[in-house]
Structure 1
Amino acid sequence: MKTLFQNKWGVTVFAIICTLLWGSAFPVIKISNSELQIAQGDTAAQLVFAGMRFLLAGLILLFFLFLTNRSLLKVKRSKLFLLFLLGIVQTTGVYYFFYVSLSNVTGMEGAILSSSEIFLAMILAHFYYKNDNMNWKKTVGIIAGFAGIVLANWGQNVQFDFQLTGEGFMILSGLTSAIAVILTKELATDIPPLTLTAWQLTIGAIILLLIGFPQIGENAIVFTPFGLGLLIYSAVLSSVAFALWAALLKYNKASEVSIYKFLAPVFGTILSAWFIPGEGFNLMFIMAIGFVAFGIIIINYTKKQTSPP
């Protein structure tokens, strides 16, 4: 399993699966908000829905571990504080800032600013790990990735205003996500990725629910069979994607894995165009994937060592 997550092709396949699953969450959340009658700008209802989604994701993984290997449910006492901190940062922090900012930024601003986590993760990795320094390849890769995000969202309204609960919170969402990359990588060395993911999702989700429930209005979320199906799907995609991502971070450099996250909003825009009426598909999407792919390749490309004659 270790070799599979270290092999270049294995990393590419698993990272694309993760970003495709996260990308599919974009249209799923949009459709869920409509199906569950969650009003635009109703942050409390969105936080509660996110809390239910991640709590279900965490419980799915905990139940899986309970059935397959109960010993993996245990975590060393010395790691409990960091695990609790990861839950707050990775799940509570990232999605609290993200959902609060959603109603205060345009779609294009949100896509660009939320992708700042990739740049921030690389900067943090540069200072935290001696073997993961910034260089010209990573700089070019980041520029190409941001260009891809811009192209994928081309034509949307963009404003250059700044407000703390809008652009500010979206940047904070990216920063907390970048911090979570380092925390995940550190904890994954001692805690199996499935265990790490199960507990951090569960802890973070409970806190989201504690924040959202006291503020939620009556009938703010109206469940239907289809809405329940969307909730279950979004929970499953989260459990799979976060578990795979934790495994990738465990065995690879943070920067080489993080660059793949540029694909998530691109996939999200493409899937939204396919599944949501009124959101069109155009040539810009193909160009966007091309730019992101170039960024991924340039960062992960290494020349083959030639043995001396």
Structure 2
Amino acid sequence: MASKRAEIKRMGILAVLASFCCALWGSAFPVVKWGYALSGMTDGSVWQYIYYAGLRFVLAGALLWVMTVRKIGLPKRQDWQPILWISLFQTVLQYTFFYIGVSKTSGTGASIIAGGNVFVAVMISSLVFHNEKLTAPKVIGCLLGFFGILWVHLHDFNMLTGMHWLGEGLVFMATISYAISTNLMKRFGKTSSPVLLATYQFIVGGIVMLAAGNIFGGTVTLQTAQSIGVLGYLSGVSAIAYVIWSLLLKAYPVSSVAVFGFTTPIFGVIFSDILLAEAGIFDTTAVWIALLLIAIGIMIVNRSEGV
């Protein structure tokens, strides 16, 4: 009985912390677009978006460094390879795709597509990293979830004109990069501190993106306190959510953590409606059918894990 109560408590902690992370990430979809507008980037070049992302992640890494440097110290020689690999997929590739993609789609659409990170992470964990077994229920759940993501765009069978491949397509590529980084963090977090990996991968990835954006003329001017505040919020979202998520990945199986990602598109839709007034962009019924299908797919995957 005591062990059962302990397990319920353990899963309760996971549910609260993972859902909190997803709420922060869900709010980031519309806030990024808001930040673009405040910084005069609504029609900006690709390199402006890359530069803006670099600013965000250098600040996120600096924030973590200030908060944790006494505990984590400097990376050791064996830490640098994990830092570079995670930085490549978690920060550089994911957010290069994401920042360009989200500039060409709605916050609601981006958040729903990004909900597929649950299924992509499970598939990559099983087929690439061999962290867990790929079973029929997982396959069915993943396919159902992906259909839910597509449904919001294809419910009127307008495939060719309903999707913008430089928008939704790049957001989906960001989802794949995220899924790979999730499994890398699970693997490397066994031998290195997740907080150390998170801190320095943000700094390294942010510097790379900042330098690339600057070289190609993509500078951004933050002229108002509001634009600075939005950038600070996005940096805080990255720092807080990713560290908590990394610690959860160290303590729990990938599927058990990733399954809570279904709440990200729900929070994304809610925050997009509040901040960007996007409720009328998509057919409301189609949005909720898509989210329902995603949730059912997650429950199937979750049940197959016995969580």
- Alignment partner, residue 3 of structure 2: none
CA distance in 1 between partners of 2:99 and 2:190 (Å):
31
1:242-291: per-residue Cα shift (whole Å, max 9, x none)?
01111121122223322322332332122111222353494555555544
Match of 1:307 in 2: none
- Normalising by structure 2, we get a TM-score of 0.82
CA distance in 1, matches of 2:9, 2:193: 16
Q: Superposed, which structure 2 residues align to 1:103-114 within 5 Å?
A: 110=110, 114=114
CA distance in 2, matches of 1:129, 1:303: 17
Change in CA separation of 1:223 and 1:148 when aligned onto 2, cut-off 3 Å? farther
Aligned to 1:85: 85
2:179 is aligned to 178
- Please tell me whether the aligned partners of residues 145 and 297 of structure 2 are also in contact (alpha carbons under 8 angstroms): yes
Paired position in structure 2 for 1:7 = 10
Q: Do the aligned residues in 1 keep the contact of 2:127 with 2:134 (CA within 8 Å)?
A: no
Of residues 61, 64, 71, the one that matches 2:64 is: 61
Q: CA deviation at 1:190?
A: 1.8
Answer with 233-242 or 285-294: which moved more: 285-294
Contact 1:108–1:157 (CA under 8 A) maintained in structure 2: no
Change in 2 beyond 3 A, CA 1:276/1:5? farther
Q: Secondary structure at the match of 2:121?
A: helix
In the TM superposition, what is the alpha-carbon distance from 1:44 to its structure 2 partner?
1.4
- RMSD, aligned α-carbons: 3.4
State the secondary structure of the residue aligned to 1:279.
coil
| 5+ residue gaps, structure 2 | 1-5
Task: Give 1:80 deviation, angstroms.
Answer: 1.0
Kept after mapping to 1: 8 A contact 2:102/2:168: no
Q: How does 1:40-51 map to 2 (within 5 A)?
A: 40-51=43-54
Residues 1-309 of structure 1 aligned to structure 2 (within 5 Å): 7-66=10-69, 70-102=70-102, 110=110, 114-128=114-128, 130=130, 132-150=132-150, 159-160=159-160, 169-216=170-217, 220-280=220-280, 282=284, 287-301=289-303
Contact 1:20/1:264 (<8 A) preserved: yes
> Alpha-carbon deviations, 1:53-78, whole Å to 9, x = none?
11111111110013xxx241233312
- Conserved in 2, the CA contact under 8 Å of 1:97 and 1:169? yes
Query: What is the CA-CA distance between 1:90 and the residue it aligns to?
Result: 0.8
Conserved in 2, the CA contact under 8 Å of 1:118 and 1:259?
yes
Instruction: State the SS of the aligned residue for 1:160.
Output: helix
Alignment coverage as a number of residue pairs: 298
SS at match of 1:7: helix
Separation (CA, whole Å) in 2 of partners of 1:274 and 1:166: 22
Using the alignment, how far apart are the partners of 1:104 and 1:169 within structure 2?
Answer: 9
The alpha carbon displacement at 1:222 in A equals: 3.9
Shift in CA distance, 120/293, structure 1 to aligned 2, threshold 3 Å: closer
Task: Supply the AA of the counterpart residue of 2:182.
Answer: V
Change in CA separation of 1:275 and 1:112 when aligned onto 2, cut-off 3 Å: closer
Deviation at 1:151, TM superposition (A): 6.0
Distance (whole Å) between structure 2 residues aligned to residue 152 and residue 180 of structure 1: 27
Q: 1:212 to 1:107 in 2, by over 3 A?
A: same
CA contact (8 A) 1:112 1:149 kept: yes
Q: Is the Cα–Cα contact under 8 Å of residues 45 and 221 in structure 1 kept in the other structure?
A: no
Q: Distance in 1 between matches of 2:156 and 2:203?
A: 35
Q: Which amino acid aligns with 2:35?
A: S
Q: How far apart in 1 are the matches of 2:188 and 2:8?
A: 17
Q: Which one is further off, 105-114 or 143-152? A: 105-114
Q: Is the 8 A contact 1:93 1:176 kept in 2?
A: yes
